[in-house]
Chain A
Amino acid sequence: MNIIETVDLSHVYGANTPFERVAVDNISLSVKDGELLGIIGHTGSGKSTFIQMLNGLLKPTSGKILLNGADIWEKPKEIMKVRFKVGMVFQYPEYQLFEETVFKDIAFGPKNMGLGEEEIKERVLQAADFVELKYELLEKSPFELSGGEKRRAAIAGVLAMDPDVLILDEPTAGLDPMGREILLTQIMSYHKKRKNTVIFVSHSMEDIARIADRVLVINDGKAVMLDTAQNVFSRPDELEKIGLRVPQITKIITGLKKRGYNLPDGVLTVEEGFDAIMRLFKSKGVGVCSEM
């Protein structure tokens, strides 16, 4: 079943002024329930505009967004309900923290939903669990936390609304490799446990390759590719033309293949690449003693 569908979705900034610019140009897309969709695109390609339309923060200039089959702009007064169902984590979400304590900040969303105190508490603790935020941090001021903790607290603020669709805009930007790894794992385990839909926007091809079921490539406001990660990353020339690239490991393996080594197609992660090369060594009878 499709949870979100867009039909010929377009957005034009500053329509009818000299500054008119088409940010999103006729994108039609269906996102299946429980899918993990990755979105990649160059800076300014329109991906941020696109995702902001999905939860009703921006009104499309033309086209429709269907959530569970119903047009979200049919009743503009109830757009808030859409925002609770489609949770959005913006870039650098830590800059939105404002409450006295982390607990209160995470509770901001559930409170706006009008939930009871008991349920709010339960949801805050659950969200804190998902992002592995220690309970003793909940009573601290959000401004006392470290950068990575702030980021996780802010993400918990959206998770606490328990959205059916979770949109993350470059959640790993500006984190160190360790923080990146932790966050990615948490997102994947959240997705596995809750079985809800996740839309993940990133500049990092490695991240996308690792977690996405399908990948949408946006260029100049248009959807240029929509396919499985393997298929998208098997078209490196086209990607490079629009300023994107394939994951490094994919590049290495395809490079080796071109030189005549018998390696499989569609290798996306370092682990897969490692296994493939080890198998090749074994088949050639080369003894390697290594661990990874």
Chain B
Amino acid sequence: MLRDVTIGQYFPGSSVLHRMDPRAKIVLLLPIIVFIFITKNYFAVALTTLFVFVLMLISGVPVKMYFKSLKMIIFIVLFTSVINLFYGRGEPLVQLGFIKITEAGINNSVFVAIRIITLIIASSMLTFTTSPTELTDALERLFKPLKVFHIQPNEIAMMITIALRFVPTLVEETDKIMNAQKARGADMESGGLIQRVKALVPVLIPLFVSAFRRAYDLAMAMECRCYRGGEGRTKMKVLKMSSLDFFAILIVFLLCIGVISCNVFLPAAVR
């Protein structure tokens, strides 16, 4: 059950996206997300959607995995898009009491759905094609300017690495404990909400106990190896921008120009 969570998983590969510098991937993801959200008409949306879909196909990650990560948020997508359906100005197409559906409302709901879906696909792409180590390396580098505020990027990087490192361990542990309690007749699949939450107690308590035990063990092991915060450590893999990354920047820049010109020169469908 927990194995179905695909957001944040890494799929090893050698596609163009895998070979990019992780810093470039993180930084470029931001304008992509921003421009997904400022699209104002169907041409702009088509452009961003096409862009994301092409990236999805060249990422070398099975398309099924993207759909799996979408499955988790399908409820949010439906919910926001249904809510948006009723919030449109203009002439109502359908009127049912105080509920009215306008053309702008339909546009709104379609836009919201497409935006969220492309957003999730774009961000899963980052984690699908970037190993956790690369990701933290990149974050460590990107957080460096925060040193001015006495924030230690290397400590943050270490914390992220440890957290990520323990996700699969804890998932496995949860599975084991759940099985052990199920073997003693714990029922986790039926009953109402309150019953289900109650049924989690026999799983959560042992899980916390073991998480703390692991944390102490790890702290001890780190101290035994004289870990002092890791400041100024050299890297085994030094991050380097290549021509590939500059090419990617150019592509994203072109996408931005495309979206802006669609927004400016073509009529807007949503506010």
Chain A: residues with CB nearer than 8 A to chain B? 18, 52, 55, 57, 80, 83-84, 87-88, 90, 93, 95-98, 108-109, 112-113, 143, 157-158, 161
For residue A161, which residues in chain B have a CB less than 8 angstroms away from its CB? 184-185
Supplied contacts A90-B180, A97-B206, 15 more A-B pairs, CB within 8 Å: A80-B187, A83-B183, A93-B180, A95-B173, A96-B177, A96-B206, A98-B205, A108-B184, A109-B184, A109-B185, A112-B184, A143-B209, A158-B183, A158-B184, A161-B185
Interface: B15 (CB within 8 A): no
A57 touches B183 (CB 8 A): yes
Write 25 A-B pairs (CB below 8 A) sorted by A numbering.
A52-B179, A55-B183, A57-B179, A80-B185, A80-B187, A83-B182, A83-B184, A84-B185, A87-B183, A90-B176, A90-B183, A95-B177, A95-B206, A95-B209, A96-B177, A96-B181, A96-B184, A98-B201, A108-B181, A109-B185, A112-B184, A112-B186, A143-B209, A158-B183, A161-B185
B184 touches A90 (CB 8 A): no
B182 touches A98 (CB 8 A): no
Nearest B residue to A57 via CB reads B179
Interface 1/0 per residue, B194-223 and A, CB below 8 Å: 000000011001100110000000000000
**In the complex, the 7 A-B pairs of residues with the closest C-beta atoms, listed nearest first:** A112-B185, A98-B205, A96-B180, A109-B184, A88-B183, A90-B180, A98-B202
B210 touches A95 (CB 8 A): yes
For residue A143, which residues in chain B have a CB less than 8 angstroms away from its CB? 209
A113 touches B210 (CB 8 A): no
User: How far is B181's CA from A26's CA once the two chains are assembled, in angstroms?
Assistant: 28
For residue B176, which residues in chain A have a CB less than 8 angstroms away from its CB? 90, 95
Nearest A residue to B190 via CB reads A77
Nearest A residue to B177 via CB reads A96
Which of A88, A93, A98 gathers most chain B CB within 10 Å?
A98
User: How far is B185's CA from A223's CA once the two chains are assembled, in angstroms?
Assistant: 29
For residue B185, which residues in chain A have a CB less than 8 angstroms away from its CB? 80, 83-84, 108-109, 112-113, 161
User: How far is B180's CA from A151's CA once the two chains are assembled, in angstroms?
Assistant: 13
Nearest B residue to A88 via CB reads B183
User: How far is B184's CA from A161's CA once the two chains are assembled, in angstroms?
Assistant: 8
Chain B: residues with CB nearer than 8 A to chain A? 62, 173, 176-177, 179-187, 201-202, 205-206, 209-210
For residue A109, which residues in chain B have a CB less than 8 angstroms away from its CB? 184-185
Nearest B residue to A98 via CB reads B205
User: How far is B179's CA from A231's CA once the two chains are assembled, in angstroms?
Assistant: 34
Q: How far is the CB of A178 from chain B (nearest CB, A)?
A: 24
Q: How far is the CB of A62 from chain B (nearest CB, A)?
A: 21
Q: How far is the CB of A87 from chain B (nearest CB, A)?
A: 7
Nearest A residue to B184 via CB reads A109
For residue A97, which residues in chain B have a CB less than 8 angstroms away from its CB? 206
Q: How far is the CB of A238 from chain B (nearest CB, A)?
A: 32
For residue B205, which residues in chain A have a CB less than 8 angstroms away from its CB? 98
CB within 8 Å for A90 and B179 given contacts A80-B187, A112-B185, A161-B185: yes
User: How far is B62's CA from A161's CA once the two chains are assembled, in angstroms?
Assistant: 46
Q: How far is the CB of B84 from chain A (nearest CB, A)?
A: 36
For residue A18, which residues in chain B have a CB less than 8 angstroms away from its CB? 62
B184 touches A57 (CB 8 A): no
Nearest B residue to A160 via CB reads B184
For residue B187, which residues in chain A have a CB less than 8 angstroms away from its CB? 80, 112
User: How far is B71's CA from A95's CA once the two chains are assembled, in angstroms?
Assistant: 33
Q: How far is the CB of A83 from chain B (nearest CB, A)?
A: 6
Q: How far is the CB of A48 from chain B (nearest CB, A)?
A: 10
User: How far is B186's CA from A95's CA once the two chains are assembled, in angstroms?
Assistant: 16
Q: How far is the CB of A168 from chain B (nearest CB, A)?
A: 12
Q: How far is the CB of B216 from chain A (nearest CB, A)?
A: 14
Nearest A residue to B62 via CB reads A18
Contact for B206 among A80, A98, A112, CB less than 8 A: A98
Q: How far is the CB of A201 from chain B (nearest CB, A)?
A: 14
Nearest A residue to B203 via CB reads A98
For residue B210, which residues in chain A have a CB less than 8 angstroms away from its CB? 95
User: How far is B210's CA from A73's CA once the two chains are assembled, in angstroms?
Assistant: 33
For residue B182, which residues in chain A have a CB less than 8 angstroms away from its CB? 57, 83
Q: How far is the CB of A170 from chain B (nearest CB, A)?
A: 13
Q: How far is the CB of B141 from chain A (nearest CB, A)?
A: 32
User: How far is B184's CA from A77's CA once the two chains are assembled, in angstroms?
Assistant: 16
User: How far is B177's CA from A57's CA once the two chains are assembled, in angstroms?
Assistant: 12
For residue B181, which residues in chain A have a CB less than 8 angstroms away from its CB? 96, 108
For residue A113, which residues in chain B have a CB less than 8 angstroms away from its CB? 185
User: How far is B205's CA from A147's CA once the two chains are assembled, in angstroms?
Assistant: 18
Q: How far is the CB of A243 from chain B (nearest CB, A)?
A: 23
For residue B180, which residues in chain A have a CB less than 8 angstroms away from its CB? 88, 90, 93, 95-96
Contact for A157 among B177, B184, B201, B206, CB less than 8 A: B184
